[in-house]
Amino acid sequence: MEGCLFCKIAGGEIKSDVVYQDDRVVAFRDINPQAPVHLLIIPREHIPTISDLREQHRELVGHIFLVAGKLADQLGVAREGYRVVANCREAAGQTVFHAHFHLLGGRQFGWPPG
């Protein structure tokens, strides 16, 4: 979608530190990391929020979680544990309205989140 930051990152129009990509998703390092490992996994398709996911995205969401698991393993945080977070809309702190999943690892996380 025109004007969308993450569409531009997915299209390579804006540079990012990409660690994985395929025909459906791109994973890149967050510009403001909140943990030693902090990736954003995004669908190439412009979907504004996870509330906009539909039946047609069922396989895509499964793929995103499998990619998250593989990347956590590759980056060495799978064994100790990691977190996958999707913030949906304002109350959850979503700031970029192209659905994305944060993969965070390499430190201890508190629960419940603030």
Looking at residues 27 to 86 of the shown chain, list those that interact with ligand 5GP (rule: CB under 6 A): 28-32, 40
Going by C-beta distance under 8 Å and a sequence separation of 6 or more, which residues neighbour residue 57?
A: 43, 45, 47
Amino acid identity for residue 8 in this structure = K
| Nearer residue to ligand 5GP within complex by CB, 28 or 82 | 28
| Nearer residue to ligand 5GP within complex by CB, 30 or 45 | 30
The option from ligand 5GP, Zn ion, none interacting with 98 (CB < 5 to 8 A, set by class) reads: Zn ion
Q: Residue 100 catalytic?
A: yes
Tokens 């993969």 sit at which residue?
A: 103
- Determine the Cα–Cα distance for residues 59 and 45; give it in Å rounded to an integer: 13
Question: Which of the residues are catalytic?
Answer: 100
